[in-house]
Copies of this chain bind each other. A is one copy, B any other.
């Protein structure tokens, strides 16, 4: 047998794959968010290029135009963005100064550094939101042990310490219960050079997420607000629409649009919120975090909305008109597939088979990631009429994909 077949990418430069009349979006990052952007980009006829740290990472497995490099290295970033119509991100970790350098060189970075710094630095974000009059928990910069002690005292010990930069999925967040724990924690973190802030620990009833997309031209389009269930700091469930939200829905959607506009966000923005109760027992909300990209709490839009967050993000960063965010079912629930301590012997393909046999309506999304405890390796979307039934199906399917048994 002669083999005249040959891999194509060996003799093509990335840009030669691009059609002249096709916009190119470069995504800095190689995780599942970049991967799912590519899914939508294919259908839109948008060319996606990614900057990946490793050819085996989630997005790098499925994108045709992959450049290997380091997003903290300005030369690498400059090289990958050349010729792009827009540059965007699947994480917040590109150094702000690199983004300024790209902007200065005329690169169309969306969102831009002035907006993105609010998703990169929690103290900058809290300060900005407070200036805007958005509801945020009381907070303080922590630059010394004294700062921490006085804030701890003022809050009667109900505090949360956060790393200003680099946290995700519960990393970079601490809840010291006593003055002794506080002292030990702060000393250790300051010694390690971690930039810190503190905020009041909110007695939350539940968490919500309000997602909105905004274009450079200033158009905004919000999705229905969802309830987000977190376990150990990691999102495990998103319920759309958030049950029983009532008048708070409008308030929260408007807040998200206001934040997007005031901060000059472009692309998808997730506003994560705490719902609590005021002294009269009425619902009250506080902004917790901002993410300026597609977000875990928006994965349900892939199967529950006319326009998914991934399509909308691409449209937004290219300054296209935004799509309809109308739901295609009364309820959609997303359950994350999170790696457990042990990966069962049953293959993932066999687990999918079992899930689909029982639930032909389950939409399984996998990220091409190997199993590791706590790692997000996929999610399941289920739509229907009854929120309890849909929620329980989504949870059961996600559970089976991890544990190879029904809950």
Contact = CB atoms under 8 A, between A and B. Distances in A.
A4 interface: yes
B68 A5 contact: yes
Nearest to A366: B45
Interface in A1-42: 1-10, 12-14, 16-19, 21-23, 35-36, 38-39, 41-42
Contacts of A22: 348, 368
A102 to B, nearest CB: 12
A6 B69 contact: yes
A98 interface: no
- Chain A interface extent, by class: 35 or more
Contacts of A47: 61, 368
A363 B306 contact: yes
Interface in A306-321: 306-307, 315, 318, 320-321
A64 B63 CA distance: 5
A225 interface: no
Contacts of A307: 360
A339 interface: no
A241 interface: no
B17 A13 contact: no
Contact of A5 (B41, B56, B80, B363): B80
A10 B366 CA distance: 26
Contact of A76 (B5, B12, B329): B5
20 contacts: A1-B78, A4-B76, A5-B75, A6-B69, A8-B68, A9-B10, A16-B56, A22-B368, A39-B43, A42-B62, A44-B366, A45-B366, A45-B378, A47-B61, A62-B64, A64-B66, A221-B360, A318-B349, A321-B357, A323-B356
Given A1-B78, A43-B364, 18 more contacts: A3-B75, A3-B76, A8-B66, A8-B68, A9-B10, A17-B55, A21-B370, A44-B352, A45-B364, A45-B366, A45-B378, A60-B64, A61-B64, A62-B64, A306-B361, A306-B383, A320-B349, A320-B353
